[in-house]
Amino acid sequence: MSAPTAVVTGATAGIGAAIAGDLAGRGYHVVVTGRDGEAAERLAAGLPDATGAVLDVTDEGAATAVAEAVVAEHGRLDAWVSNAGISHMAGFLDISAADLDRTLDVNVKGVFRCGQAAARAMLACGSEGSIVNLASIAGKSGRLPYLADYVASKFAVVGLTQAMAFELAPHKIRVNSVCPGFVVTPMHERELGWEANLRGTTVDAVRQGWIDDTPLGRLERPEDVAEAVAFLLGPASAYITGESLAVNGGTVMD
Ligand SMILES: NC(=O)c1ccc[n+]([C@@H]2O[C@H](COP(=O)([O-])OP(=O)(O)OC[C@H]3O[C@@H](n4cnc5c(N)ncnc54)[C@H](O)[C@@H]3O)[C@@H](O)[C@H]2O)c1
């Protein structure tokens, strides 16, 4: 029996790289994807059973090409993680139409395009697959500064996850999302700088504020997210669909 296959988007850095590594360690054949194909191949080369592929989630048709290639090569598509996402920080009144479009194109339309591509491929090969979308604490609470377009995008991911889960349930395809908090990644480092600038304070002060906002008292590691994603992809969550799982050290409870 061939290994289960998993595609991870935006997997060349941060949370996506941790998810790819975690799934490879659990016996999946992982397709590491990113805008930079060479970076994806480099990361895949360091994993036990993985390949790299170019996938820009804003590119219509790109997700379909990857999903179809996986089915053609392996005969199965078991798991898809829509991780790629972007953020930038500005006050609500300063966010331009172009900023809003860019955020929604990657964070919402990217998840939508990838979800369609993954589900169609799973249906085509008869796989009872599982899809996980990366939402955020910003998908559960708008009480976050300078992130209005990002908040809108992540609430949309939570809603889209439910709609996908509802329509795909008769095909035994499960769809869930995870909602991380303050995860130490390149995105996090950029946000520390932006928020310090916007608040007129230091990066250290912003970082300490984020730790103080986290009841478990530490920043989140990409591996904390990867563990939750693996749970939602695997058989232990067989009866869970449409869920948006908080993985945030208690920062936002609902
Ligand atoms: N870091 C956090 O604190 C945090 C918290 C909650 C949710 N998230 C979400 O988790 C996901 C990963 O975040 P991260 O912190 O690792 O971010 P990151 O910026 O460190 O990495 C994101 C990855 O997505 C890729 N990407 C961006 N646009 C893309 C596109 N159009 N097509 C394909 N790939 C693209 C980037 O190249 C990068 O590899 C995102 O969806 C983010 O919104 C992050």
Q: How far is the CA of 187 from the centre of ligand 1 (A)?
A: 7
| Token reading at 106 | 């990657």
Cα dist. 167→116, 122, 135, 163 in Å?
Answer: 11, 14, 19, 6
Ligand 1, from 7, 8, 108, 183: best to mutate by most atoms within 8 Å of Cβ? 183
Sorted by where each begins, the domain ranges of the chain are: 5-183+221-247
Query: Residue of the nearest CA to atom 41 in ligand 1?
Result: 85
Give catalytic residues, as residue numbers.
Answer: 150, 154
Q: Whose CA is nearest to atom 34 of ligand 1?
A: 10
- Is the pLDDT confidence value at 230 over 90? yes
> Tens of pLDDT along 20-74?
999 999 999 999 999 999 999 999 999 999 999 999 999 999 999 999 999 999 9
Name the nearest CA neighbour of 249 among 225, 222, 217: 217
Q: Is the pLDDT of residue 6 over 90?
A: yes
pLDDT at 1 over 80: no
| pLDDT tens digits, one per residue of 127-147 | 999 999 999 999 999 999 999
Enumerate residues lining ligand 1, CB below 6 A. 9-10, 12-16, 34-35, 55-58, 83-87, 106, 134, 136, 180, 182-183, 185-188
5-183+221-247 to CATH, choices 3.40.366.30, 3.40.50.720, 3.30.70.2740, 3.40.30.10: 3.40.50.720
